[in-house]
Amino acid sequence: MKSFQYISRLFLTAAIVLFFSLNLLAQGITSNDIDNLVQKTMQAFNVPGIAVAVVKDDRIVHMKGYGVSSIVTKEKTDENTLFAIASNSKAFTAAALAILVDEGKITWETRVTEIIPEFKLYDPYVTNEFTVKDLLTHRSGLGLGAGDLMLWPDGSYFTLKDIIYNMRYLKPVSSFRTKYDYDNLMYLVAGEVVARASGMSWDEFVESRIMLPLGMKRSAACYKRIKEKSNIIDAHVKVEGTLQRVPMSFTPVGNAAGGIFSSVSDLSKWVMMQLNGGKYGENLSKRIFSQKVAKEMWSPQTIIPGGSFGYKTNFSAYALGWRVNDLDGYMQVSHTGGLAGVVTQVTMIPELKLGIIVLTNQQATGAFVAITNTIKDSYIGVYGKDRLKETLEALVSNLSEAQGVVSKVWTRVANSSKFAPGEVMLRRYAGKYKDSWFGNVNITLENGALRFSSEMSPLLKGTLYYYIDNTFVVKWDERSFDADAFINFSKDFEGNPNGFVMKAISPETDFSYDFQDLDFKRVK
């Protein structure tokens, strides 16, 4: 008996020591370690500038900028440097709607047509049943990134009125409310709901009702509304192996989906408010929105298939403006954002009152993944993982596979050149073609080669190269797009081209190049 008691006490003592040891180990990474991590990550992924903030228990435990905001100006990045946060703007749109729900101006179940009568989708039933909540949950039935070419990479001539009207031509790929497919356009509609229900523009509402109270002094709802632009990033893309500065790519009508500019300093205030269920200010005496709507915004709505890379995950779902999942036993609330030359991530673990913000000015998503996961591991007690190595290896593998696909296509193009149609035959392809939602493109014959040019998205232009039969490959003039595509022509009974469809070549092409949703018919 004494021996058993002794052994029991021994095991109890060991368990207590182990518990406190693990608890001490999981107190978080040091600032020096974060500095070293970010420097290594910038070098590994060729990122000019990164800003990182870590919030824990209502305190900023790390906040710093690294590298340069632009490879041209060489200005240093700091905690106040403004980045385009891209789709991390979606949580602000959800919060704006939540405020209006609190005020009784709408409910989550309000039908969109009650606010925007002209809202119309391909299926009349879906149009009638579509609610405010549906706008935020990526379960519309439309395909991944459907209609994004009205925003990306240029879309400069599409107005919000055009986009809302054209949505009726986008054909669903799944049944309503049955499947997750990420959708930017519905957030544009959500922004218009904010405008019509509140009586002020989405830009004004977000700035006056969220940013101003929180003291997000440098942040703005879009680039044009930034008051002071001396400390702001340039976007950067690797173009054929060389890092280049590129223009910001998002059209102003897309602000509710991805237009906000902010800094880690300002976003830390946003994250602390989120972790406190809408409360902010001295002694958390003020509120942006109620606890009730805060809970709703973090409640799973649409199941996302698959797990979370490198962690034990039992469920993953999209909520309202946030992605939620379990992560080694903890609930995680997060979102990412990406535009040409910019990727960002905001991550929260509410149980630990932990927030991690990583903003970058190069579109290598592996950079923010490596940094976020390493910091996160230190707080949840995951040891022995080299997140930088993991993400770098995944990137190399994915790029190698994609480059193999692209290389085969261009090799075939080169081999097919001797079989390419002559100028007389090529002239038959020339003409004006129209897609119901994307509008007109012109296929012209210039200097013996076919050229593609969009009337509504003028940066989308390039040269067609013969591939096989009635299929060509379009090589975009703007090489930073990294989105060359197949064009397959159809012909009438007389053998004259009367339309075409498209598909991206590389599996790594950004999903917002939704060429597969286009169906052009010849009009001239």
- In whole angstroms, what is the distance from residue 513 CA to residue 197 CA? 32
Write out pLDDT tens, residues 495-515: 999 999 999 999 999 999 999
- The full length of the chain comes to 524
Average pLDDT over residues 369-374: 96
User: Exposure of 249 by Cβ count < 10 A (0-12 exposed, 13-18 middle, 19+ buried)?
Assistant: buried
Burial of 123 (0-12, 13-18, 19+ CB in 10 A): middle
- Whole-angstrom Cα distance, residue 490 to residue 500? 6
Q: How many angstroms separate the CA atoms of 152 and 476, rounded?
A: 14
Domain with CATH 2.40.128.50 in the chain: 404-522
Range from 276-285, 304-313, 479-488, 505-514 carrying the lowest mean pLDDT: 304-313
Residue 524: its pLDDT value, please? 84
Phi, psi of 370, rounded to the nearest 5 degrees:
-60, -45
pLDDT at 153: 87
In the sheet with 49-56, reading across from the earlier edge strand, the strands are 59-67, 49-56, 354-360, 342-349, 330-339, 323-327, 316-318, 302-303
Which CA distances in Å does 435 have to 18, 119, 147, 475, 517? 65, 20, 11, 20, 9
Q: What tokens does 152 get?
A: 């990306």
User: pLDDT > 90: what percent of the chain?
Assistant: 86
- What confidence score (pLDDT) does residue 418 get? 87
The pair of three-digit structure tokens given for residue 320, joined into one six-digit string? 């309202």
Q: What's the pLDDT at 456?
A: 94
Q: Please say whether the beta carbons of 284 and 291 come within 8 A.
A: no
Question: 218-238: b or e for each residue (b if 16 or more CB lie within 10 Å)?
Answer: bbbbbbebeeeeebbbbbbbb
Q: Coil, strand, or helix at residue 14?
A: helix
List every span in the chain annotated with CATH 3.40.710.10: 28-141+176-385
- The per-residue pLDDT for 87 is 97
Token output for 355: 């927030």
Instruction: Give the model's pLDDT for residue 298.
Output: 98
Predicted confidence at residue 23, as pLDDT, reads: 39
Average pLDDT of 17-26? 39
Question: What is the average per-residue pLDDT within 413-433?
Answer: 93
Q: Using CA atoms, how far apart are residues 134 and 187, in angstroms rounded to an integer? A: 10
Instruction: Please give the pLDDT value at position 156.
Output: 78
Answer yes or no: is pLDDT of 1 > 60. Answer: no
Class of domain 28-141+176-385: alpha beta
Burial group, residue 337, by CB count within 10 angstroms (0-12, 13-18, 19+)? buried
State residue 22's pLDDT score.
38
Residues 6+ apart with CB under 8 A from 428: 495, 496, 497
What value does the mean pLDDT of the chain take? 92
* pLDDT of 251 higher than 80: no
CB count within 10 Å of CB 291 equals 12
Q: How far apart are CA 3 and CA 23, in angstroms?
A: 30
Q: What is the mean pLDDT of residues 108-117?
A: 98
Does the structure show a pLDDT above 50 at 3? no
Q: What is the pLDDT of residue 201?
A: 97
Residue-level pLDDT at 252: 80
Q: Give the C-alpha separation, 515 to 502, whole Å.
A: 5
> Residue 145: CB partners within 8 Å, gap ≥ 6?
182, 183, 184, 511, 512, 513, 514
Predicted confidence band of residue 249 (pLDDT cuts 50, 70, 90): low
Dump pLDDT digits (tens) for 25-47: 446 899 999 999 999 999 999 99
**Bond prior to 213 in cis (omega within 30° of 0):** no
Looking at residue 152, its pLDDT comes to 86
Cβ contact 385:310 at 8 Å: yes
**Most confident stretch, 227-241, 258-272, 417-431:** 258-272
From start to end of 281-417, where are the E strands? 286-287, 302-303, 316-318, 323-327, 330-339, 342-349, 354-360
Comparing 170-184, 186-200, 297-311, 476-490, the range with the smallest average pLDDT is 297-311
Whether 367 has a pLDDT exceeding 70, the answer reads: yes
Question: How would DSSP label each residue in 217-269?
Answer: TT-BSSGGG-S--SSBPPEEEEETTEEEEE-----GGGHHHH--EE-HHHHHH
Are 260 and 221 in contact, with CB atoms under 8 Å apart? yes
Say whether pLDDT at 244 is over 90.
yes
Axis crossing angle, helix 31-45 with helix 387-416, rounded to the nearest 10: 10
Least confident of 72-81, 97-106, 179-188, 308-317: 308-317
Rounded to whole angstroms, the Cα distance separating 291 from 308 reads: 28
Looking at residue 237, its pLDDT comes to: 94
Does 12 score more than 50 pLDDT? no
- Per-residue pLDDT, 372: 97
Q: Mention every residue, 6+ apart, whose C-beta is less than 8 A from residue 172.
A: 121, 122, 123, 126, 140, 141, 142, 143
Q: Identify the CA nearest to 42 among candidates 344, 416, 360.
A: 360
Instruction: Considering only residues 154 and 175, tell me which one the structure prediction assigns the higher pLDDT.
Output: 175
CATH of domain 404-522: 2.40.128.50
Check if the beta carbon of residue 358 is closer than 8 Å to that of residue 350: no
pLDDT for residue 264 is more than 70: yes
For residue 446, report the phi and psi dihedrals to the nearest 5 degrees.
-130, 120
Q: What is the mean pLDDT of residues 230-244?
A: 93
Question: Per-residue pLDDT averaged across 327-356, rounded?
Answer: 96
What are the start-end ranges of the E strands in 24-105?
49-56, 59-67, 83-84
Torsion of CA 366, 372, 376, 378, to 10 degrees: 90
Instruction: Report in angstroms the alpha-carbon separations of 304 from 188, 242, 309.
Output: 22, 35, 13
Residue for token pair 């989120």: 274
Give me the residues paired with residue 362 across strands: none
